[in-house]
Structure 1
Amino acid sequence: MVVLGAGPAGLVLGNLLHDSGIDCVVLERAERAHIQTRARAGFLAANTVRILERHGLAEGLRRRGQAHSTCEFRTADGRFRLDYSELGLGERHTVYPQQDLVTDLLTRFLDSGGRVVFGTEALEVQDADSDRPSVSVREGDGRPGRWQARYVAGCDGRHGAARRSLPAGSVRRYHCDHGVTWLGLLAEAPPSLDAVGYAVHERGFAGHMARTSEITRYYLQCERGTPAEAWSEERIWDELDLRMRAKEYGPLHRGPVVQRGIVDLESDVLEPLRHGSLFLAGDAAALISPSAAKGANLAVLEAEILARALVDDLLHGDPTGLDTYSARCLTSIWRAQEFSQWMIGLLHGPSGSDGESMFHNSLRASRINSLRTSRSRQDWFAEHYVGI
């Protein structure tokens, strides 16, 4: 088995296959130090934690992860909190930075004898319609190479070789540009709230997400095309203070901005997720906007489904799981996409003052008020916010 990509999907899959006695190798374009420090998402859903625990992959997050059960909304009409551990299915998130999870998964895989080839760029998956597909690569020293296996798992993202290798006309692509751009920030500053903070403001959305006791993730909605370096740190903190209404609810803890990047909110789904001997998982299967923190959780779920199906096929001669892999994953993907779309509409609105913009902003205000006052709406929100 060849696995492309050493992110959450690829490493969970690699660990589960290796534990089952299936020979596999993970090919990763970046070096080890890079993937262990690459900051990404940090909110693990309850089912994701259960999957990791079920397979002995949760030791680190159980020691260092932080349980979160509350989110706070701030609007011009005031603020309110939802304790989603008391709503819906009564479940919570575990906050655990993705780079820490990747480090845990990688260490366990290597310590148990798994193989990861770093600095190796997958170029193309060939003969995916046969029972001996191969992956052409560029080795770390620039030389060409080739890996061959019974199956290939494409866990290498939306721009990886797995997607590029799909035959023309073999896949349907569903894509949506939500027309919203965020400036994503990582600050060396303690969290300013004991909850995830969502601020809805006439100047645009602002978000606060704790990562550790010393690191906080922030988001600022900005104009499309804005360079990541266009805003000074002073302007960033002033704008966060304004949108999060620090004068009313208390100042934010400031600190150096150590990482920043532009995020254009997009959604992207491929269908089907199987093409002969090639399977897609993680961002290679579907890209989801960060508005609902579902990406890494979908990746872990898909990896478990695929691992079980591969074990059934390779060790027990039962191909049923592989035949149904795409349909099973797409059910969860589209449910997550629907909630992500709902969150985007809740947090963002048009900036114009024309009649149509005022109409949509009034609808958004009504949705927020319903979330503030309706128990049934709160239960629905909690189930989808934590669920996957």
Structure 2
Amino acid sequence: MVVLGAGPAGLVLGNLLQDSGIDCVILERAERAHVETRARAGFLAANTVRILEEHGLADGLRRRGQPHSTCEFRTADGRFRLEYSELGLGERHTVYPQQELVTDLLTRFLDVGGRVRFGTEAVAVHDTETDRPSVTVREADGRPGRWRARYVAGCDGRHGAARRSLPPGSVRRHHCDHGVTWLGLLAEAPPSLDAVGYAVHERGFAGHMARTSEITRYYVQCERGTPADAWSEDRIWDELDLRMRAKEYGPLHRGSVVQRAVVDLESDVLEPLRHGSLFLAGDAAALISPSAAKGANLAVLEASILAPALAADLVHGDSERLGAYSARCLEHIWRAQEFSHWMIGLLHGPPGASGPEGESLFHTALRRSRINSLRTSRSRQDWFAEHYVGV
């Protein structure tokens, strides 16, 4: 078995396959130090934690993960909080930085004899219509190479070799550019509130997400095409203060911005997720906007569905689960996409709106009504909580 990519999907899949006695190798184009330090999302859903615990992959998050169950909305009409662990299915998130989870999964995989080839870039996947596919690679020293296996799992992202190798006409792509851009920031600053903060402001959205006691993730909506380094740190903090209404609700803890990236909010789903002996998982299968923190959670879920299906086929000759893999995952993917789309509409003006002049009065009133419904309606709050934590 060849697995492309050492992110959450690839590493969970590798660990589960290794536990089933299936020989596999993970090909990762980055070096190990980069894999273990690249900061990504940090909110693990309740089902994700259950999957990791069930398979003995949760030691680190048990020790260092922090339970989280509150979000706060700030608007021109005031602020309100939802204790979502007391709503819906009564579930909560666990805050655990993705790079720490990846480090845990990687360490465990290597400790039980797993193989990872770092610095090995997959170029293309070949012969997926046969039972002996291969992957051509560029090795760490620049030499070409080739790996063969019974199956290949493409967990190498939306721009990886797995997607690039799909035969023309074999896939239906569902794509949506939501017309919204965020400047994503990682600040060396303690969290400024004990909740995930969503600020709806006429100047654009701003978000606050705690990562650790000393690191906070912020998002601030900006114009499409804005370079990541266009705003000074003073401007960033002033804009966050304004949009999060620091004068009314208390100042933000400021600190050095140690990472910044521009994120265009997009959704992208491929159907089907199986192409002969090639399977897609993680961002290679579907890209989801960060508005609802579903990406890593979907990746773990997909890996947990694919691994036993592969084991059933390779160990017992039962291919039924593999045949159902794509449909099972797509059901979860589209449910997550629907909620993410709803969140984007709740938090942002229409595409292209830069302020009150560009945003239609109708859309402004409609968004205000949605937020007020979430503030006052228990049934709406239950629906929000179930989908906010669920995947």
TM-score range, shorter chain: over 0.9
Match of 1:120 in 2: 120
SS at match of 2:11: helix
Query: Does residue 5 of structure 2 align to residue 2 of structure 1?
Result: no
Deviation (angstroms), 1:174: 0.2
The aligned residue for residue 278 of structure 1 is 278
Aligned to 1:365: 368
Q: Which residue pairs with 2:66 in the alignment?
A: 66
Q: In 1, are the aligned partners of 2:74 and 2:198 still within 8 Å (CA)?
A: yes
Note the C-alpha offset of 1:270: 0.2
Asked if 1:86 corresponds to 2:64, the answer is no
Structure 2 unaligned residues grouped into runs of 5+:
none
Q: Which amino acid aligns with 1:186?
A: L
Q: Deviations over 1:197-234 (max 9, x none)?
A: 00000000000000000000000000000000000000
TM-score between both structures, scaled by the size of structure 2:
0.98
User: Any idea what SS the aligned residue of 2:132 has?
Assistant: coil
Superposed displacement of residue 286, structure 1: 0.1
What value does the CA root-mean-square deviation take over the aligned residues?
0.8
Aligned to 2:186: 186
* 1:285-300 alignment runs, 5 A limit: 285-300=285-300
Q: CA deviation at 1:355?
A: 9.2
Rounded Cα–Cα distance in structure 1 between residues aligned with 2:358 and 2:274: 46
Residue 56 (structure 1) aligns with = 56
Asked if residue 164 in structure 1 is aligned to residue 167 in structure 2, the reply is no
Structure 2 equivalent of residue 301 of structure 1: 301
SS of 2:239's equivalent? helix
Match of 2:379 among 338, 362, 376: 376
Amino acid in the other structure paired with 1:333: I
Deviation digits for residues 29-67 of structure 1 (CA, Å, limit 9, x no counterpart) = 000000100000000000000000000000000100000
SS of aligned partner of 1:265: strand
Q: Which residue of 1 aligns with 2:208?
A: 208
Once residues 296 and 356 of structure 1 are traced to their aligned partners in structure 2, the CA distance between those partners, rounded to angstroms, is 32
Which amino acid in 1 is paired with 2:253? H
Using the TM superposition, give the Cα deviation of residue 359 of structure 1 relative to its aligned residue in structure 2, in angstroms: 0.3
1:135 aligns with 2:140: no
Secondary structure of the corresponding residue to residue 186 of structure 2: strand
Matched, 1:222 2:217: no
1:381 Cα deviation after fit: 0.1
Distance 1:353 1:67, change over 3 A: closer
- Give per-residue Cα distances to partners, 1:305-350, cap 9 Å, x unaligned: 0001001101111101100000000000000000000000000014
Partner of 1:311: 311
Q: 1:35 to 1:179 in 2, by over 3 A?
A: same
Structure 2: distance between partners of 1:233 and 1:214: 18
CA contact (8 A) 2:349 2:359 kept: no
Q: Which residue of 2 aligns with 1:155?
A: 155
Give the fraction of aligned pairs with identical amino acids, expressed as a percent: 87
Give the TM-score of the pair, scaled to structure 1: 0.99
Contact 2:189 2:215 in 1 (8 A): yes
Give the structure 1 partner of residue 15 of structure 2. Answer: 15
Unaligned runs of 5+ in 1: none
Point out 4+ residue stretches in structure 1 off by more than 3 angstroms: 350-356
Mapping of residues 229-240 of structure 1, within 5 Å: 229-240=229-240
User: How far apart are 1:361 and its partner, in Å?
Assistant: 1.1
CA deviation map 1:144-190 (0-9, x unaligned): 00000000000000000000000000000000000000000000000
Residue by residue, what CA displacement relative to the aligned partner does 1:84-103 show, whole Å, maximum 9, x if unpaired?
00000000000000000000
The CA deviation string for residues 74-122 of structure 1, in whole angstroms up to 9 with x for no partner, is 0000000000000000000000000000000000000111000000000
C-alpha deviation, 1:353, in angstroms: 4.7
Q: In the alignment, residue 121 of structure 2 is paired with which amino acid?
A: E
Is this contact kept in 1: 2:202–2:356, CA < 8 A? Answer: no
Structure 1 match to 2:37: 37
CA shift digits 1:239-290 (9 cap, x unpaired): 0000000000000000000000000000000000000000000000000000
Tell me, in whole angstroms, the C-alpha distance in 2 between the residues paired with 1:230 and 1:169: 40
The residue type paired with residue 388 of structure 2 is Y
The code of the aligned residue for 2:55 comes to: H
Q: Secondary structure of 2:23's partner? A: coil
- The one-letter amino acid of 1:274's match is R
